[in-house]
Structure 1
Amino acid sequence: MYLSHFAVIYGLRQIWPLADGLVSLLIAYAVTAALSYLVARATWHLVERRAQDFAHRLTSAGSDRSTIRPTIAATVAGLH
């Protein structure tokens, strides 16, 4: 939410100029918080979760690489 709320505030100010006052401030706060939450959830599902899964596959495959590469090299060289 911290990263997305800047964009949400900018976007809201472009399409919905609020008047001065406490009620307007509270409405802007509630709308910004709700939209920032929705954007944060969407980016978590679309970007962050996939990046974490990809990083996990890369790091967990690191231990398998040392045993796979010599086998591939021996097969290519005709030693297997």
Structure 2
Amino acid sequence: MLTVENLAVFYGDAQALDAVSLEVEEGAIVAIVGANGAGKTSLIRTIAGMHRPRRGRIRFGAFRSRSIVARACRRNASTSRSASGST
């Protein structure tokens, strides 16, 4: 299970995410949707270990190590870009 607890992400002084929490069961297929600038990419990059959160925890199963969580997420995640003009 992937667990994200109270995640806050900043780029300089600009806050991208605040108090994000979620649980994803093993084998689940999840879509993260939202308007431009809503923080979708920031969330994925932070879970994948590409950006360090200012606050919060990310766990993959029993592991909290950033490197273990990041490796597991990169192995099991994919992204899709929306086409111009799509909703």
TM-score exceeds 0.5 = no
Q: By percentage of residues, which structure has more strand?
A: 2
Shorter-chain TM-score bucket reads: under 0.3
How high is the TM-score relative to the length of structure 1?
0.27
How high is the TM-score relative to the length of structure 2?
0.25
Q: By percentage of residues, which structure has more helix?
A: 1
